[in-house]
Every structure is written in C-alpha cells, then in structure tokens.
Amino acid sequence: MNRNAAPFLTLVGIGQRITRLRLWHVPLTSHTAYYMAEGKTCDAVEAVVIAIETDAGLTGWGEVCPIPHYLPAYARGVVPALQELAPVILGGDPVGAEALMAKADAFLPGHVYAKSALDIALWDITGQVAGLPIHALMGGRRQDTLPLYHSITCVEPQEMARIARDAQAQGITQFQAKLGASGDWQTDVERLAKVREAVGPGPLVYGDWNCGATTLDAIRVGRAAAHLDVMLEQPCATLEECAQVRSATSLPMKLDEVAHDTATLLAAHRLGIMDAVALKLSKFGGLSSTRRARDLCLHLGAKMCIECTWGSDIVTAAALHLGAATPPSRVLNVCDLSGYVSPRNAPDAPTRAAGRIAPPDGPGLGITVDQERLGTPDLILD
C-alpha cells in the first residue's frame, strides 16, 4: 500500500482478519552512552519489531524497546507473551485496536510492554483501512509540530554544558540533565548550574535521577539549585519519597518510572507531585491505554511528555501521533527516540527540525519500514 496515497473511503476493513505475525529482534546503538544514577548505563539496547498481516494484504507495524534495569520489562519477554496470545491474535479483527486488546488483556493479564507493540500495529492497520493518520483517529491534529527535549548524559558538568549548547544551537529549548552517576550531590548541583548557565534564562532545565537518589541527597540538590529555575524529575523510587522532596524543596516535579497506570497517576495527583509526567507507550501498554492515561492527565491538570522508553522510528511515530492529538498547552514535550540511535528502520520517518518534530501525514503510522534492513524474522506465527 502506498503510504502517501490520498485518503480514501473503503469497506476493506469489514470482516478483515489477522493471518500472520512476524517478529524481529533489532539491536540499536545509542549515539552516546547514557550514564544514570546507581550505575545504570544505556548504550546498546534491543528493540522488538513486529508486523501484523491481514487477509486483505495490509501490514501493521509495532515496536517496543525496554531499557535494561529501567522497568519490569525485557526485550526477550515479548516472544513468549505473543506466542501465548497467538489464539487471540491470529484470526482476530485488527480494525479498532481496543476491541482486540481487550480480548488480549482478558486472555493474558499484565505483560503490558509486550502488548504495546501489538496495540501500535493494530492502530497502524486501522489507520490504513480508514485512509487516515492515527492522530486523526485520536481526535485530530492539534498542532503542526511538537516541542522536543534533549536528554544529556550524566558526565562532567562542563561536558554536559557543551552538549546543552550544541542542542540549543539546533533549536532545542528543553533540556533533561541526567543526575546521580557520580554519587555526590554537590556535583549534581554543579551539573544543573552549568547547564542553566549554558542555555541562559528561559529554557526548561530539569534534573533526572531515574529513581536513583535518596530523599536527603535530592533535597540537598533541590535546595542548592532552587535559584536556578529548574524542575526535578523522578528523584526517588516511590511516590511517597518524591512527595517528601517536592515538599522540602518547593520545586516542580516530573514523574516517570513510578507513573505507569491510572492508579499511580491518581495517587501522584493526590500527593501533589505531578506537575508533569512522562507517558511512555510501553509503560501503559500501547496507544490505546496511553490515550486513556492522557485523558486522565488532562482532567488532573498535568503537563505531559508523550514518548516511550526507547526505540526507533516505529515507536517514535506512534508517540508523535498521540502527541499531535493532545492539546498543545498540555504537551510539555515529545522525544525523537529514533534520533538517538542507529540504525533507523524507516527512511521516511520524521526527524527533528529547529527543536521541533512533526508527526507523519500518511495513513496509519505513515512510515515505510525497511524490511530488507530487518532481514529474516526471528519468529513467525501463522
């Protein structure tokens, strides 16, 4: 199917059934090693790419890419989960993703990260059947381009400042500075100070510990950096600890790892610590469930970073569609995940421009996956 073809009206989706699922494990290499608190490093990851095929000749693409030691998810767990779900997937109706995903949830509770790729692929097919981009099916495009942030690895403060200046020269106005890798709170204060000095007043700067700080260290950093106009991201491993830091520093807070379903979003709101939140597709289980989380956040008043844990062009495109269908005043930022890694798996996928990025315009995901680059599938279910 020509992804760039003009939208069309068709009944091709009526009675359509899934006939085959193909899966690849795709190694991705980050453009730089990402050093985080508690000795965590992310420089090479494995993405899982799936293709769902129908008896009408359509193919829907999905992707999930867990980061090691980040969340209870791992790339090699996707295959057994999908094999378990084969009786639901094969022969299922791919049009209208939430109906089939409800059956998948009833058949195999949990394992949301593995289901995330499946859900994205179903939305891709649904969009192709409708002849519309996914953002049109999610309520319509609310802005032409979306603001990006740039993530800065936790290294020496001066080097982090250089990275921030380089990103600012490309139009970036939001900067996430990783903290905690050196294990001393004073250097984290210096990291935030140097990044703020490098980008000047106005741009958003926030320090991210990825759950790796004690309340004591996070509070000391927050108090020492309060004059810098910064936000704190996920300092500690629990909502209650994050609430302690928020109360003691009075600094705005963005949540990530501990916000992963509606219950944790509601709990965070009650604690007053959800000024901003990262909605990542694989944390919630795909576009369907993340859209529901998005709607709850609209009600609760939080600004949102709409993205995923990691990955390449497929998952980036999916997140951009949801971001584009969200009120601009509530989109803190998105992330061009595929811009941080190689290889790219879709040559026509969007790239950053002047600190912003646009969602694809074609039907479904609106990208063309390079199947030759993927090679021979590691799994075929039919």
Report, as residue numbers or ranges, the catalytic residues.
178, 280
Terminal Cα-to-Cα distance of the chain (whole angstroms): 21
Tokens linked to 188: 């984290």
* Helical packing angle, 215-224 and 185-199, nearest 10°: 40
Distance CA 80, CA 256 (A): 27
Three-state DSSP class for residue 26:
strand
Phi-psi region of 375 (alpha: psi -120 to 50; beta: other; left: phi over 0): left
Distance CA 356, CA 185 (A): 32
Three-state DSSP class for residue 236:
coil
- Taking the CB of residue 105, how many other CB atoms lie within 10 A of it? 19
Using DSSP bridges, classify how beta strands 204-208 and 174-178 pair: parallel, antiparallel or unpaired. Answer: parallel
What are the residues whose beta carbons fall under 8 Å from the beta carbon of 150, sequence distance 6 or more?
163, 164, 167, 172, 174, 175, 176
DSSP state of 329: G
Which one, of 273, 256, 279, 276, lies nearest residue 332 by Cα? Answer: 276
What are the residues whose beta carbons fall under 8 Å from the beta carbon of 335, sequence distance 6 or more?
148, 149, 151, 305, 307, 316, 319
Tokens linked to 132: 């519309």
What are the residues whose beta carbons fall under 8 Å from the beta carbon of 179, sequence distance 6 or more?
37, 154, 188, 191, 192, 207, 208, 209, 212, 213, 221
